[in-house]
A and B are shown apart, each in its own frame.
Chain A
Amino acid sequence: MSYSSATVIYAARRSAVANALHDGQDLWLLPEDLERVSGWELTPEGVCREGLCVPVPPGKESFVSRRGTETWVNLSQLARLLDQLVVASPKHGVWFFGDSPRELARPLTSLVAPDFTLPDLDGRLYTLSHFRGRKVFLLTWGSW
């Protein structure tokens, strides 16, 4: 395990963490950083977010560890328990937490066109759902 700074991309939001511990693909954060980057909060019931609590499993599966006076939470392990994907470049201190297949599939199974907001060349933002009431032909292309 070594200490370093880290860049965490969680739920498509990027945050910088000044003080993290990492071990291979595992990223350990202090509780205040955990909450700031992911919204998960360490409580006596476990790690909780939006009314959902994940109890801290005992033993090797555990995602909570004490080191001296500090408590560290393994966000990578938590992600695995939640069926979330984690890919990392420890060399560059980057951790990317991606959606699970179930989460990726959810908007498609609703049959409602997944919404997005993107800019044009002038930086003007457009949101697909703002075109409700009109038929839309969505066309993707690539210059490559």
Chain B
Amino acid sequence: MKPQGLEIITVALDSRGAEGAGEWIRAATPEHPSLIDVEHRVAALYNMVNVPTGVWIDEGGRVVRPNEVAFVDNRWIDYTKTDMTRYVAGLRDWVVNGAASAFALTEAELRRRMALPTPAQALAAANFRLGQYLHAQGHWEDAIPCFKQAQAFHPESWCYKRQAWALSDAEKYYGTSFKKEVEALGGKPYYAPLDLPSVG
């Protein structure tokens, strides 16, 4: 999926770095920059709470569409509950039509959709970073309370949950699992539903 005139940049949020993301990247043999973000910095900068998350950025470096679930097909429709082909079609439409595309959000709409970090979320971010540092230093058991704090202060972030669970035995140390947590949603969407114009 590389429409003309579009630069695709992927970022793997992965505390284990190449050890975690490397084999996936090698298997995909991507032609676009495939970056590794050990500290989850991009998630912090853009206030992302899940993956995959897509952001559209125009030629001037301005955000055109902020954080949205961004699968390229409907493999995960049970989670997305949205026809992702419409998202990809929208991306192509924007690449061709730029600011005139119905998919390019107005500034007011952009601001409405953009979630700014709350004090609790900032505290979550700090705890997550401390946990990552302790984990990287080999103090993985002492990292767990920090990760739990991060999850408690920002419960909407699946990144904080799933990354922490993946770094140890989730059942043993967090008393949960991804499957259990998704079941606990009880029909509430795992991803924020896409809000796309009906054209395109």
Interface residues, chain A, with chain B CB atoms under 8 Å away: 9, 85-89, 91-92, 94, 96-101, 104-105, 107-109, 111-114, 116, 118-121, 126, 128-129, 131-144
26 cross-chain CB contacts under 8 A: A85-B123, A87-B130, A91-B142, A96-B126, A101-B119, A105-B117, A107-B45, A109-B111, A111-B110, A113-B63, A120-B35, A121-B36, A126-B35, A132-B61, A136-B57, A137-B56, A137-B57, A138-B42, A139-B9, A139-B10, A139-B54, A140-B37, A140-B52, A143-B14, A143-B20, A144-B20
Q: Which of A9, A99, A101 has the most CB of B within 10 A?
A: A101
The answer to whether the Cβ of B59 comes within 8 Å of any Cβ in the partner chain is yes
Q: How large is the interface on B (under 10, 10 to 19, 20 to 34, 35 or more residues)?
A: 35 or more
The answer to whether the Cβ of B192 comes within 8 Å of any Cβ in the partner chain is no
CA distance A128 to B55 in the complex (A): 12
Task: Type the 1/0 row for B54-93, where 1 means its CB is closer than 8 Å to any CB of A.
Answer: 1111111111000000100000000000000000000100
A118: chain B residues at CB < 8 Å are: 11, 35-37, 41-42
Q: Which of B9, B20, B98 has the most CB of A within 10 A?
A: B9
User: Known contacts A109-B116, A138-B54; is A116 also within 8 Å of B146 by CB?
Assistant: no
Instruction: Give the contacting residue for A104; candidates B6, B60, B110, B122; CB below 8 A.
Output: B122
Residues B14 and A144 in contact, CB atoms below 8 Å apart: yes
User: Known contacts A139-B9, A142-B159; is A116 also within 8 Å of B45 by CB?
Assistant: yes
A142: chain B residues at CB < 8 Å are: 12-14, 21, 51, 159, 162-163
B52: chain A residues at CB < 8 Å are: 139-141
Residues B117 and A101 in contact, CB atoms below 8 Å apart: yes
**Considering only CB atoms, which chain A residue lies closest to B24 in the complex?**
A143
Instruction: Give the contacting residue for B47; candidates A98, A104, A141; CB below 8 A.
Output: A104
Residues A134 and B7 in contact, CB atoms below 8 Å apart: yes
Instruction: Give the contacting residue for A113; candidates B57, B133, B142; CB below 8 A.
Output: B57
Residues A144 and B54 in contact, CB atoms below 8 Å apart: no
B10: chain A residues at CB < 8 Å are: 139-141
The answer to whether the Cβ of B196 comes within 8 Å of any Cβ in the partner chain is no
B70: chain A residues at CB < 8 Å are: 139
Residues A120 and B36 in contact, CB atoms below 8 Å apart: yes
